[in-house]
């Protein structure tokens, strides 16, 4: 008996020693789904994709800066120190410390990381419909990188996985051309695997992917590729110009035949100034709207991003797009009489004009605080833009096809509800006509600054613009410091 006890005691102790590897501590949290035990069902992929779409909703800032940086508008707002970063961009005095640019930089990479998280796990499960999810995810990554490269030039290219904290310092800035190559690759994958139409409003389509790809080519001055890609959209896509320009930017027109790529917003969820990245409504609308407004049709807002007289003057006489694009507040006020219209002027500046495409309407309010919850979609690429981009590409490519360019241009000009006389010029006169058309057709849509930069006209048009410097924005200094990857600041900053 004693021997038995001793032996069994020895066995117990020995078995202790036997569990010698660290398996014992290799346990996972119970009943908790975290990032390391996700992607177990097709629905998981779908949800992660929705999460990746989410960051597109921060585009209000991209759009805003695209206007303010150009000669189209001034920063406006409550005072010159409110959103100081925007005022600096307006004055071309911006530097590495700029909250708005840092937010943009952070948000785009947050979106990229959410896409990369899907690709990191793409082989975990096989199921029907996965390709569609990966295609949409590819588009999103292409979009986020396009915004980054357009704003900052060379940016670190992180693909298909999440970075650990210790890997950050080894991420160099990737040359813009390589980033563009990846963008095209991602968009091509999306275009190849998505249909022209979707039954779900808001989902990315083949047309959106090809149009963004054409735009990416255009931004690299790859006109032949741009022309070819955009022609495919024009020739094969289901798009047509809207027959009522005046209501094109209203909620009721969302998803109409001119819609190629919209970022979706709804007004059903409230939101606050504490978390812009959480918003489900389009914050630009509330920011743009008329300060201290009391009266019909419109609603009160914050008077940012105010169009300039210079932009108003760009419109040809009798161009009906002027009234749709730009609100002349005093004229409007006079026209409403005897109904009284009141508004105030913010300390950040006043031009008398408001960005009428994205202004809060009394019948399009979101939930409170409705400054930030507009249900109006951001029209990122309209079919008119596709036509004008294609026109430019054909006009500027090495073997120019001005006939086609002219056709596209005049399709936009002479469309029903715009009805401007067709132009009939070629060569550089046509180039100028296209540039003019882009500025008026796309006024207030956040495109003009980048158009000026890529066509080399920025220094002529924008006061304070320095060639060789202001073509891109500075990398936020805090990000250079945090990355500790010896990134060089963009030239001149």
- Under rule CB under 8 A, which residues in 293-332 are in contact with another protein? none
Tell me which residues in 215-274 interact with another protein (CB under 8 A).
Answer: 264-266, 268-269
30 contributes a contact to another protein by CB under 8 A: yes
Stretch that binds another protein, among 6-14, 285-293, 342-350, 398-406 (CB under 8 A): 6-14
Question: Are the CB atoms for 386 and 234 separated by under 8 Å?
Answer: yes
Question: Are the CB atoms for 470 and 457 separated by under 8 Å?
Answer: no
Stretch that binds another protein, among 22-30, 305-313, 395-403, 458-466 (CB under 8 A): 22-30
109 contributes a contact to another protein by CB under 8 A: yes
2 contributes a contact to another protein by CB under 8 A: yes
Stretch that binds another protein, among 23-31, 75-83, 414-422, 454-462 (CB under 8 A): 23-31
Stretch that binds another protein, among 317-325, 331-339, 354-362, 479-487 (CB under 8 A): 479-487
In terms of CB distance, is 265 or 449 closer to another protein? Answer: 265
6 contributes a contact to another protein by CB under 8 A: yes
User: What CA–CA distances, in Å, run from 186 to 146, 195, 379?
Assistant: 11, 16, 21
The helix/strand/coil state of 329 is helix
Helix axes 427-441, 402-413, angle to 10 degrees: 30
Q: From the list 92, 97, 159, 163, which residue makes contact with another protein (rule: CB under 8 A)?
A: 163
Tell me which residues in 50-69 interact with another protein (CB under 8 A).
Answer: 50-57
Stretch that binds another protein, among 101-109, 296-304, 317-325, 339-347 (CB under 8 A): 101-109
Q: From the list 106, 250, 361, 457, which residue makes contact with another protein (rule: CB under 8 A)?
A: 106
Site size toward another protein (CB under 8 A) is 79
Give the DSSP letter string of 115-184.
HHHHHHTTTS---TTHHHHHHHHHHHHHHHHHHHHHHHSSB----SSPPPGGGGGG-PPBPHHHHHHHHH
Stretch that binds another protein, among 43-51, 87-95, 223-231, 236-244 (CB under 8 A): 43-51
Minimum Å distance from CB 15 to another protein?
A: 9
Minimum Å distance from CB 60 to another protein?
A: 14
User: Tokens 């704003």 identify what position?
Assistant: 151
Stretch that binds another protein, among 105-113, 288-296, 312-320, 380-388 (CB under 8 A): 105-113
Tell me which residues in 113-152 interact with another protein (CB under 8 A).
Answer: 113-114, 116-117
Give the DSSP letter string of 69-85.
TTTTEEEESS-TTTTHH
472 contributes a contact to another protein by CB under 8 A: no
- d(Cα 58, Cα 52) in Å, to the nearest integer? 12
111 contributes a contact to another protein by CB under 8 A: yes
- Residues in contact with 207: Cβ distance below 8 Å, sequence separation at least 6, in sequence order: 196, 233, 237, 238, 239, 260, 261
Question: Rg of the Cα trace of the chain?
Answer: 26
User: Tokens 């890609």 identify what position?
Assistant: 229
CA 310 to chain CA centroid, nearest Å: 25
278 contributes a contact to another protein by CB under 8 A: yes
- d(Cα 490, Cα 471) in Å, to the nearest integer? 10
- d(Cα 207, Cα 230) in Å, to the nearest integer? 9
Q: From the list 42, 202, 320, 347, which residue makes contact with another protein (rule: CB under 8 A)?
A: 202
In terms of CB distance, is 18 or 463 closer to another protein? Answer: 18
| Pair of tokens at residue 345 | 């002027």
The helix/strand/coil state of 297 is coil
Stretch that binds another protein, among 211-219, 302-310, 464-472, 482-490 (CB under 8 A): 482-490
In terms of CB distance, is 16 or 317 closer to another protein? Answer: 16
Cα atoms found within 13 Å of the Cα of residue 78, Cβ hemisphere only: 7
In terms of CB distance, is 275 or 463 closer to another protein? Answer: 275
Q: From the list 280, 300, 371, 437, which residue makes contact with another protein (rule: CB under 8 A)?
A: 280
User: What CA–CA distances, in Å, run from 301 to 76, 152, 265, 373, 465?
Assistant: 12, 30, 18, 12, 30
Q: From the list 122, 130, 185, 203, which residue makes contact with another protein (rule: CB under 8 A)?
A: 203
């Amino acid at each position: 008996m004693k021997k038995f006890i001793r032996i069994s005691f020895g066995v117990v102790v020995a078995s202790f020693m036997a569990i010698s590897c660290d398996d014992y501590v290799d346990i996972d949290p119970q009943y908790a789904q975290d990032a390391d035990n996700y992607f177990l069902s097709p629905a998981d992929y779908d949800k992660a994709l929705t999460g990746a779409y989410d960051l597109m909703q921060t585009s209000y800032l991209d759009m805003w800066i695209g206007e303010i940086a150009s000669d189209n508008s001034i920063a406006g707002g409550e005072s010159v120190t409110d959103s100081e970063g925007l005022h600096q961009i307006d004055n071309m005095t911006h530097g590495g410390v700029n909250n708005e640019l840092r937010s943009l930089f952070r948000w785009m990479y947050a979106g990229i990381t959410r896409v990369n998280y899907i690709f990191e796990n793409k082989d975990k499960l096989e199921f029907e419909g996965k390709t569609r999810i990966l295609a949409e995810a590819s588009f999103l990554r292409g979009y986020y990188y396009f915004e980054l490269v357009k704003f900052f030039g060379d940016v670190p290219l992180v693909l298909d996985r999440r970075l650990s904290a210790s890997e950050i310092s080894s991420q160099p800035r990737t040359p813009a051309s390589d980033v563009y190559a990846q963008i095209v690759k991602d968009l091509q994958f999306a275009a190849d695997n998505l249909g022209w139409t979707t039954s779900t409003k808001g989902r990315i389509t083949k047309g959106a992917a090809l149009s963004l790809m054409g735009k990416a080519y255009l931004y690299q001055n790859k006109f032949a590729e741009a022309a070819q890609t955009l022609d495919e959209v024009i020739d094969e896509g289901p798009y047509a110009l809207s027959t009522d320009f005046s209501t094109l930017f209203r909620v009721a027109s969302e998803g109409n035949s001119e819609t190629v790529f919209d970022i979706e917003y709804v007004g059903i969820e409230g939101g606050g100034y504490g978390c812009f990245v959480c918003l489900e409504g389009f914050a630009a609308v509330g920011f743009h709207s008329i300060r201290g407004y009391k009266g019909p049709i419109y609603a009160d807002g914050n008077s940012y991003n105010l169009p300039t007289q210079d932009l108003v003057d760009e419109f040809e006489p009798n161009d009906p797009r002027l009234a749709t694009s730009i609100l002349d507040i005093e004229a409007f006020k006079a026209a409403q009489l005897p109904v009284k219209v009141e508004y105030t002027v913010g300390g950040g500046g006043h031009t008398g004009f408001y960005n009428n495409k994205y202004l809060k309407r009394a019948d399009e309010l979101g939930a409170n605080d409705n400054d930030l919850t507009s249900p109006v979609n951001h029209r990122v690429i309209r079919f008119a833009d596709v036509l004008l981009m294609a026109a430019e590409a054909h006009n500027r490519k090495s073997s120019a096809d001005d006939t086609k360019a002219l056709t596209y241009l005049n399709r936009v000009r002479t469309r029903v509800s715009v009805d401007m006389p067709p132009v009939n010029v070629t060569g550089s006169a046509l180039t100028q006509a296209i540039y003019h058309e882009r500025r008026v057709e796309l006024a207030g849509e956040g495109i003009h600054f980048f158009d000026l930069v890529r066509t080399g006209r920025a220094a002529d048009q924008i006061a304070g613009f320095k060639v060789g410097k202001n073509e891109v924005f500075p990398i936020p200094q805090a990000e250079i410091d945090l990355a500790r990857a010896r990134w060089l600041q963009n030239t001149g900053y």
